[in-house]
Amino acid sequence: MTKRKFLFTSEQVSEGHPDKMCDIVSDSLLDALLEKDPKTKFACETLIKNNTIVLGGEISSTAVIDYEAVIRASLAKIGYHDENFDFSPKTCQIINFLDVQSSEIANSVHVDKSPEEIGAGDQGLMMGYATNETEELLPLTLVLSTKLILKLKELRETNASFKWLRPDCKTQVTVEYEQLEKGKIRPLRVHTVLISTQHTDEISLEELRRSLREDVIPLVIPQKFLDSETKYFLNPSNSFIVGGPKGDAGVTGRKIIADTYGGWGGHGGGAFSGKDATKVDRSGAYAARWMAKSLVANGYCERCLVQVTYGIGMAEPISLYVDSYGTVKDGFDDEHLTSLLKKNFDLRPGMIIKELNLERPIYRDTCILNHFMPKVNSTWEVPKKI
């Protein structure tokens, strides 16, 4: 029987991309509030265009912060400094439409409730995914596209030879996979690498493409995955000088696939950034990843999808689903895996918050690039012994 081969692609965006800038603003404000009041309830959407930022959402907190100072300080770390060229954190206009959280939602979800009783901040379905094809237990397509962004950021910030790089960037990696028996898959080679990076006018297109091809890609993608047929599309639109909010509007939560699994597994549709952990769009999704990663790390399957669903104000989840794609170890099936998760994980929102310590100011760092690439404070990335 001929083994089927297929192509799969994932993308990633830099922190200078306007959508990701909005995630950073929303989560920086959440961090500032949590630092003073860990019980803060917050839902903040950010819009950015040109040199203007607009905030909208709801808040319940005893904390008092300087919203403008927090926003400007957080965005200054990205690397934009001149509004005539891109965007300036020092001079941008900030319009604040944040309002008080609805008492109906507050009473339903958290008012006068113990951690065991805290209800979900909204209805929804959350998805977790893990695969053993990389040490991060994430898809190779996503890992490579994310590491390309990280390398470009590192070179821009530390290497004078790359002073022509600007903060806005997108990458995309296509991998050829082989379908093995029982739903198992194996990455064979990198089929295509696409990088579109903002730059100054100091570098020619020819030199930019040469530098990406010779000085960036080989440092990220293992040689075993590159061959003579690998395709490279490097700044395919040619000039990319005008970027960031000057080139495109940004909105919180528009990069939910790059934030999660690069298109693998599934997505419930809810964004993470700007939401405190009573919003199960965030905490439930982190728990779903924690469960999926724990199953793979403990050797119960080679890859799996986990879905958990909630109703607003309800503490107990409505349903739990596991699909191991046929890679479950001998003697087990997906029903066994579901039972294991129910025995080892308490999926009530208040208990997720407690176990994963989600009332800390950790979210600005978490939201940059992918929420599931291991980071210092990502407790959901530490597999639980099952």
Q: 251-266, pLDDT tens digit by residue?
A: 999 999 999 999 999 9
Are 346 and 288 within one domain? Answer: yes
Question: Does residue 285 sit within a domain?
Answer: yes
Residue at 159 is within a domain: yes
Q: Kindly report the number of other CB atoms within 10 A of residue 82's CB atom.
A: 10
Give the Å distances, CA to CA, from 344 to 186, 256, 292, 294.
30, 28, 12, 10
Q: How confident is the model at residue 183 (pLDDT cuts 50, 70, 90)?
A: confident
Does 29 lie in the same domain as 9? no
Q: So what's the pLDDT on residue 81?
A: 79
Shared domain check, 145 and 9: yes
Q: How confident is the model at residue 113 (pLDDT cuts 50, 70, 90)?
A: low
CB 347, CB 320: distance < 8 Å: yes
Q: For residues 368 and 310, state if they share a domain.
A: yes
pLDDT value at residue 178: 96
- Which pLDDT score is estimated for 376? 82
Which pLDDT score is estimated for 1? Answer: 53
Length of the chain, please?
386
Task: Give a yes or no: residue 286 inside a domain.
Answer: yes
- For the record, the structure tokens of 142 come out as 């996503």
Asked, for residue 248, whether it belongs to a domain, the answer is no
Residue 118 lies in a domain: no
Per-residue pLDDT at 164: 95
Strands (E), 51-164: 52-60, 93-100, 124-131
The sign one gets for the Cα dihedral 267, 269, 272, 277 is negative
* pLDDT tier, 300 (very low <50, low <70, confident <90, very high otherwise): very high
The answer to whether the CB of 352 falls within 8 A of the CB of 261 is no
- pLDDT, residue 103, reads 54
Asked if pLDDT for residue 347 goes beyond 90, the answer is yes
Domains held by the chain: number: 3
Instruction: Give the residue from 244, 292, 338, 176 showing the smallest Cα distance to 17.
Output: 244
Domain annotation covers residue 272: no
Average pLDDT, the chain: 93
**Which of the pair, 194 or 373, is modelled with greater confidence?**
194
Same domain (yes/no): 155, 49: no
Looking at residues 330-359, what average pLDDT do you find? 96
Do 145 and 100 fall within a single domain?
A: no
Q: Are residues 262 and 362 in the same domain?
A: yes
Instruction: Give the number of other Cβ atoms within 10 Å of residue 37's Cβ.
Output: 17
- Look up the domain containing 174 and give its range: 5-13+141-242
Residues 288, 238 share a domain: no
What is the pLDDT, as a whole number, of residue 173? 98
Q: Which of 233, 191, 226 is nearest to 212 (CA)?
A: 233
Average pLDDT over residues 143-147: 98
Q: What is the largest CA-CA distance in the chain?
A: 66
Does 128 share its domain with 152?
A: no
pLDDT score for 110: 58
Give yes or no: residues 236 and 165 share one domain.
yes
Assigned domain for 176 exists: yes
Residue 224 falls inside a structural domain = yes
Whether residue 232 sits in one domain with residue 367: no
Residue 182 has pLDDT above 90, yes or no: no
Instruction: Give catalytic residues, as residue numbers.
Output: 17, 19-20, 45, 58, 170, 240, 248-249, 254-255, 275, 279, 281
Position 83 pLDDT exceeds 80? no
Q: With contact defined as beta carbons under 8 Å apart, do 218 and 189 qualify? A: no
Q: Is residue 346's pLDDT more than 80? A: yes
My answer on whether 149 and 231 are in the same domain is: yes
